[in-house]
Structure 1
Amino acid sequence: MRNATIRQLQIFSVAATHLSFARAAEKLHLTHAAISLQIKQLEEVSGALLFERIGRRVFLTEAGEILLDHTRQILQSLKEANEALLALKGLRGGRIAVAVASTAEYFAPGLLAEFRKVQADVRIRLVIDNRDTVSRLLAGNEVDLAIMGRPPAGLDATAVAFAPHPLVIVASADHPLSKLPNVAVEDLESETLIVRETGSGTRSAMEEFFHERSIKPRIGMEMASNEAIKQAVIAGLGISFISQHTLGLELSAERLTILKVEGTPVIRRWHIVRHKSKHLTPALAAFWDFVLEFAPGYLRKLVC
């Protein structure tokens, strides 16, 4: 392996993570042929087959899995060495990769903007996806930290709750239930629910809410976008269980109404999460501390 190059390991890491040479080419802005050539050269210097194709699917071989584990450690060590050298030189810069659960996209960009006011030289890569994908990115060391609801189960992680996360049931402004001072959960059994996809934190919280009350909701539509859900509710296609942090514009414009359903809002917590083995570079430590100190007040303003 002493003849392997850092570039080959970087390409291998991306291809192995996505199990797709085409996806690696897209991510790295290279041609498919260039990816294949670099992988072939890495296989030659390692003396082992790293990928195998079964049907239309690509899998890592046992050798590939072993090399991927070591490759991630090597690339992370190089990144940490770069950050440490920058800190030693007295530079304030650095890079961090942040993943946020899709519901947090309504406040995460604002948080990052506030952070950049005090740490203008830190470069940030932001990834927005559902809870399952964010958990996978953390586990694979593809991001430095995540902002999400419940920390992923089974991951050896450091997680700190930093703010309440209220979840509510909404309807269009002219929905009959919006006129009631109080709504019983049983009143929702005949309503059509528009819900997030399986794998999202909001979907899990909704399922827990109804399960605890022995209610089987009537799911009419499933969508992977909070924006699409809100527009569907506004159009009168149903009601929804959704984060209150996503509703600012629609509530102020009186296009949506939060139903006064018993047992709501359901209060969860926002967490900032990193892998326990993640080294806190100066940039990462600064952002971690900033979120814990600044975010609670920032989020409180969104539901006032």
Structure 2
Amino acid sequence: MLRRVTLHQLRLMAALARHMNMTRAAEEMHMTASAFSIQIKQLSESLGLPLHEQAGKRIFLTEAGRAAAAASRDMVDRLDLLGMELAELQGFERGCLRLAMITTARYFATRLIGDFCRDHPKIELVLEVVNRDQILERIRQNLDDLYIMGRPPEEPDVVAIPFIENPLVVLAPAGHPLCAEKRIEPARLDSEAFILREPGSGTRQVTERYFVEHGISPATRMTLGSDETIKQAVAAGLGLAVLSRHVLALDAPSGALRELDVQGFPLMRQWYAVHLAAKKLSPLATAFLTLLKESRERG
């Protein structure tokens, strides 16, 4: 039965596993949803088992579907790697580089990605911007070549390469009374309301650790899952927030936000480029890692 399975079908199965949505997967593969569905059905018939189930508008892979998706990714990745290696031997670069990063990283990483695309104009670059939970799941499923994040996972086994500092600072709306003060004592924050990232966020964990270490427990005004939404809430005077200084840099012209001079801040963290330890990196992924390392050396 496996003799009837085509490489095209495997690519489609890998796309379906990435998106878990028939329409979006079909769009990625430049197909209609009906034609995509027919190919997945034929693959299912060739393997002799259903590959997905549908509950309302949501798609879930069956156990056979997860096995087929993993095998599809392995084979497609190996063929893509072969194509890039052959292209490199011929003196030009082609192929696809898949990156995923957490939302905060977009404030600085898009410039690096732009530089890389200008240096490698013939490549295709696929970028996913997601939250921490989503990026951890993508790592577990080996969906991308490289991941940009602030705190590498403990599982599975990964290689984490630091390449740029990520200073966390306290942000306040312009005009807040603390904006005019210097060397603000941590205890002064105890009477302020804070807007925090979602539970599990690396930024939130570092923030809560600072509160515990300094014996303070500011009120949580709200919990939000987006840096952009948090910035808007701070600018509206709803509370203070701890976010990356990279977030503030892009808003400097508006003057809506201010960095407070709080003792113990900035809290220094690192941005990491992460990949599975067992993954054989493509020439494009290796070249992108080189760019990140060079950016670290340049400071």
AA of the residue aligned to 1:112: I
Which residue number corresponds to residue 231 of structure 1?
A: 232
Q: Provide the rounded CA distance (Å) in 2 between the counterparts of 1:58 and 1:116.
A: 33
Q: Provide the rounded CA distance (Å) in 2 between the counterparts of 1:252 and 1:53.
A: 48
Deviation at 1:196, TM superposition (A): 2.4
Which residue number corresponds to residue 278 of structure 2?
A: 277
Q: Provide the rounded CA distance (Å) in 2 between the counterparts of 1:296 and 1:255.
A: 33
Structure 2, unaligned stretches of length 5 or more? none
- Write the deviation string for residues 57-87 of structure 1: whole angstroms up to 9, x where unpaired: 5433332222222111111111111111111
- Write the deviation string for residues 196-221 of structure 1: whole angstroms up to 9, x where unpaired: 23343323322332233343332223
AA of the residue aligned to 2:52: F
Is 1:169 the equivalent of 2:170? yes
Secondary structure at 2:295 match in 1:
helix
* Native 8 Å contact 1:163 1:296 kept in 2: no
Deviation at 1:263, TM superposition (A): 1.6
Q: Provide the rounded CA distance (Å) in 2 between the counterparts of 1:44 and 1:142.
A: 25
Single out whichever of 152-161 and 6-15 deviates more from structure 2.
Answer: 6-15
- Write the deviation string for residues 224-276 of structure 1: whole angstroms up to 9, x where unpaired: 33223222212212111100011114345543221122221111111111112
Single out whichever of 150-159 and 193-202 deviates more from structure 2.
Answer: 193-202
Secondary structure at 2:106 match in 1:
helix
* Native 8 Å contact 1:4 1:42 kept in 2: yes
* Native 8 Å contact 1:145 1:274 kept in 2: yes
Q: Provide the rounded CA distance (Å) in 1 between the counterparts of 2:38 and 2:294.
A: 48
Quickly say closer, same or farther: Cα 1:19–1:122, change in 2 above 3 A. Answer: closer
Quickly say closer, same or farther: Cα 1:96–1:57, change in 2 above 3 A. Answer: closer
AA of the residue aligned to 2:175: D
> Identity rate of aligned residues, in percent?
39
AA of the residue aligned to 1:36: S
Q: Provide the rounded CA distance (Å) in 2 between the counterparts of 1:35 and 1:118.
A: 34
Taking structure 2 as the reference length, what is the TM-score of the superposition? 0.89
Quickly say closer, same or farther: Cα 1:215–1:6, change in 2 above 3 A. Answer: farther
How many positions carry a matched residue from both structures?
298
Taking structure 1 as the reference length, what is the TM-score of the superposition? 0.87
Deviation at 1:22, TM superposition (A): 4.3
Summarize the alignment of residues 104-115 of structure 1 with structure 2, pairs less than 5 Å apart: 104-115=105-116
Deviation at 1:288, TM superposition (A): 0.7
Structure 1, unaligned stretches of length 5 or more? none
Which residue number corresponds to residue 247 of structure 1?
A: 248
Which residue number corresponds to residue 287 of structure 2?
A: 286
Deviation at 1:130, TM superposition (A): 1.7
AA of the residue aligned to 1:289: T
* Native 8 Å contact 2:18 2:143 kept in 1: no
Single out whichever of 233-242 and 129-138 deviates more from structure 2.
Answer: 129-138
- Write the deviation string for residues 149-171 of structure 1: whole angstroms up to 9, x where unpaired: 11122022111112221001011
Q: CA RMSD in A?
A: 2.4
* Native 8 Å contact 1:138 1:144 kept in 2: no
* Native 8 Å contact 2:145 2:281 kept in 1: no
Quickly say closer, same or farther: Cα 1:30–1:209, change in 2 above 3 A. Answer: farther
Q: Provide the rounded CA distance (Å) in 2 between the counterparts of 1:220 and 1:287.
A: 40
Q: Provide the rounded CA distance (Å) in 2 between the counterparts of 1:279 and 1:296.
A: 25
Quickly say closer, same or farther: Cα 1:294–1:231, change in 2 above 3 A. Answer: same
Quickly say closer, same or farther: Cα 1:60–1:99, change in 2 above 3 A. Answer: closer
Secondary structure at 1:147 match in 2:
strand
Deviation at 1:17, TM superposition (A): 4.0
